[in-house]
Chain A
Amino acid sequence: MLSFAFRRFLSAIPTLLILIALAFALIRVAPGGPFDTEKQLPPEIEARLNEAYHLDEPLYQQFGRYLLGLAQGDFGPSFQYKDFTVTELIAAGFPVSLKLGGLAMLLALLAGISIGTLAALRQNSQTDHVAMAAAMTGISIPNFVLAPLLVLLFAVTLRWLPAGGLGDGGIANLVLPVISLALPQIAYISRLTRGSMIEVLRSDFIRTARAQGLPGREVILGHALKPAMLPIVSYLGPATAGIITGSVVIEQIFGVPGLGRYFVQGALNRDYTLVMGVVVFYGVLIIVFNFLVDLAYRWLDPRVKL
């Protein structure tokens, strides 16, 4: 197990480097500089700015400087928010995004697994058909379509919930964003759970358990659930990526001051370091998460050899 973890960890390093290099290259070859404004800056001021931000050095040197900074947790200064470093901006935005995304993931897992299991137990019944049609709808309606519709219904028409912002940070403000973020994932997870649960329920050890007179509840929760969760565990990686991507629009729609919003603002303002910081930060997060998921998978299913 330990040597597996180590090998898996080593193989994550090139992925990380490529991610950083790709983001770096993309931003550097892009037309337009960070100091492009309506008014042409005098050349000497521009030269000064370039010097201050090390933009006058050769590319490899800039890249080296960036990597070195990253290793120390320093994402560099923001080009737009002049008084902040990117690290500070990420530190400000990420907790908000984490709360939103974490709650959405929790909701997606709880609801998705319950719905999927229920549908599998009553395969081809009315419940099953309704649940799966609902799941297909959930997959087909993008969350940026769903979110405004939910706002229209619950905030504008019924006035049960606030339409946006974080307010005083209470639960009421989080309900709609979390649901909008979680629904597509609920749909995917319930479909996955249903499929794998059906397969597990057909296997010999479940039949044995049933034949020995174990109550249905115990068969499901004690025996079937763990093996049926394997595909869900391996879906956790893509699910995280999906929630992170989704949070970009959801934060925009609900005016939540999270990292996704900084990213969009930064992209529109050509804030090189901020955009790169967010891409690298989320990339690292996804890579680390995938690493943990692989470990968990290996632990749950000893048959797996990687």
Chain B
Amino acid sequence: MSSRRGNSLWADARWSLRRNRAAMTAMTIMAIVCVLVLLAPLLSSYEFDSTDWDRISAPPSFATGHWFGTDDVGRDLFVRTLYGGRISLLVGVAATLVSLVIGIAWGATAGYVGGRTDQLMMRTVDVMYAMPFMFFVILLMVFFGRNILLIFVAVGAVNWLDMARIVRGQTLSLKKKEFIEAARAGGVSNFNIVRRHIVPNLLGVVIIYVTLTIPQVILVESFLSFLGLGVQEPMTSWGALVNDGAQAMESAPWALIFPALFLALTLFCFNFLGDGLRDALDPRDRRTS
């Protein structure tokens, strides 16, 4: 495979992604959300954990500067929503990285080594697939305290199964290519073949699955926070905010609606982008033609 053809694959992908209006819109909205979340402290004069004693459970208002209103202890919901977004996105990206590393290592090894090892490794994946994994994450959170680091590890450690399967499949077909054979004939060690030749060629598939895994992870974190098992006060995440909002929704519906909107919008954009990337990078899986 010459580098020229490699280029044209990516150029092709870029071209078809640009033409996909839904995916481009999704990317724009995601960029806006990311900028908002990063610039959170600069956008409002309120702190995320300080109370405005005069305005408790106040509705959204431009005059007071509480654009999304305040919660039942008078904290500004605009700032809290953005800070919650920091945690949600951070967990999404970090836990996805954990699952990425495990999944690629596992899948590439199984696919490259093959034989018994492959069977054993993939059988393990099958067994883990059959586990009620959400229940195990809940158990982990309950028993080992509720810190963010554990969320990354717990979610990442149970979310790598899809990645491992896909990577293995790709590796199996890559293994038979001439350039791998050439590398082996040239005396490159197995480890280096996997590292330098197999893994970089998995990039396309991996990118698609990263975009699809991030929203899944954000969802899991929100789920945990919603049950009260995720991040702890005064820090917050979108899931925790939705939970707080749901409890106060009869008197203060804005506390539910804004975080819910941000959470849904972000997940929506990631899913749309993932779909667009799949169409762009993986012609075989094109469902609509």
A residues adjacent to B (C-beta < 8 A)? 14-15, 18-19, 22-23, 26-27, 29-32, 123-124, 136-137, 139-142, 144-145, 147-149, 151-152, 156, 194-195, 198, 241, 244-245, 248-249, 252-253, 263-264, 267-268, 270, 275, 278-279, 282-283, 286-287, 290
Contact = CB atoms under 8 A, between A and B. Distances in A.
B49 to A, nearest CB: 24
Contact of B130 (A31, A249, A263, A287): A287
Interface stretch (B31-39, B188-196, B203-211, B245-253): B245-253
A280 B260 CA distance: 33
Contacts of A268: 142, 228
Interface in B111-156: 126-127, 130-132, 134-136, 138-140, 142-144
Contact of B136 (A22, A30, A149, A241): A22
Nearest to B142: A267
B132 A245 contact: yes
Contacts of B126: 15
Interface of B: 126-127, 130-132, 134-136, 138-140, 142-144, 215, 219, 222-223, 226-229, 239, 242-243, 245-246, 249-250, 253, 256-257, 260, 263-264, 267-268, 271-272, 275, 287-288
Nearest to B134: A245
B143 A264 contact: no
9 nearest A-B residue pairs (beta carbon): A30-B143, A148-B246, A140-B268, A140-B267, A245-B134, A267-B142, A195-B287, A141-B264, A145-B260
18 contacts: A15-B126, A18-B127, A19-B130, A26-B140, A26-B143, A136-B275, A140-B264, A141-B267, A142-B223, A142-B263, A142-B267, A145-B260, A149-B256, A151-B246, A152-B250, A267-B142, A275-B139, A279-B139
A31 B143 contact: yes
B218 to A, nearest CB: 9
Given A30-B144, A241-B132, A275-B139, A198 B287 contact: yes
B139 A26 contact: yes
A279 B134 CA distance: 10
Contacts of A252: 227
Contact of A264 (B227, B250, B260, B267): B227
Give the residue among A147, A149, A287, A290 with the most B Cβ atoms within 10 A: A149
Contacts of B268: 136-137, 140-141
Given A26-B139, A267-B139, A270-B142, A248 B134 contact: yes
A249 B135 contact: no
A13 to B, nearest CB: 11
A51 B263 CA distance: 48
B142 A144 contact: no
Give the residue among B135, B138, B243, B272 with the most A Cβ atoms within 10 A: B135
A29 B228 CA distance: 22
A101 to B, nearest CB: 13
A268 B224 CA distance: 12
Contacts of B288: 123-124, 198
B256 A283 contact: no
A248 B228 CA distance: 13
B226 A144 contact: yes
Nearest to A144: B226
Contacts of B140: 26
B256 A148 contact: yes
Given A279-B135, A283-B132, A144 B242 contact: yes
Nearest to A194: B287
A16 to B, nearest CB: 9
B134 to A, nearest CB: 4
B264 A249 contact: no
Contacts of A287: 130
A26 B3 CA distance: 49
A279 B132 contact: yes
Contacts of B135: 245, 263, 278-279, 282-283
